[in-house]
Structure 1
Amino acid sequence: MPKQFTFRKSERLKSRKALDALFQSGRRFTQQPFRVFYAIKNTPGLQFGVSVSNKNFKKAVDRNKIKRLVREAYRLQKNELQEVLEQQKKGMHLFLVYIQQDIADYPVFYKSVKKILITLIKNLREDHS
């Protein structure tokens, strides 16, 4: 398997401190079916996390399925964002919150994650200019 399509433990956004800072002072936008939180940092590295509301999905099986599909869509498409961050010598914390009431199919997740990453790359290039 090519190295570029991996999603290592070090790439997961899990730190409570980092998450609190992201929700307090990070930027945000909505790209259905997600609410996107992100913060650009000066230290290299891209960390990603995803969350599904316990209120909308009572069964852990459903929440885990959504998270698994979103992580897979992200894993396959993150390369371009990583390249832009490496060129600019920056890093990013990225967190997606699933806000839709029902479970979408994988192609919906794939397209939505693609749009999110394109928006983030565009924002990075505008900030850098």
Structure 2
Amino acid sequence: MAESQLLDLIYVFVFLMVGVCTALGPFVLSNLVNPRSVLKTTLDPYECGMDIFGDARDIRFHVSYYLYALIFVAFAVDILFLFPVAAAYHLVSGAHGIIVLFIFVFVLSLTVVYPWAKGVFTWPKRKKIS
């Protein structure tokens, strides 16, 4: 009995050591292969292969860009939730399943209707600089 318990403890210890090595391995490996000297251009952000000009703090985006990003996230969440509904659709009875699906899609469509009613999809007129 003592030998099997000792063998079980050895298995647990080996499993834990493999887990720790798997977690710390990428950190150790990246420190071994990374370059020791850092050039100034290495710290610059990548701008599609073009030289950087100006300062990033000079750029101000209109709030509608952020609203479009939030609507995109809402669509992504909608699609994320529609996959399980489509996968489990065959498990539900006919009329009940269709009614539940329409209610679900209606609630998800409100994430588009509400911003549309608030006027998010209309771009503001740009002021011409003379």
Shorter-chain TM range is under 0.3
- The one of the two structures with greater contact order (alpha-carbon pairs below 8 A, sep at least 6) is 1
Q: Could you say which structure has the higher strand fraction?
A: 1
Larger radius of gyration: 2
Q: Could you say which structure has the higher helix fraction?
A: 2
- State the TM-score, normalized to the length of structure 1: 0.25
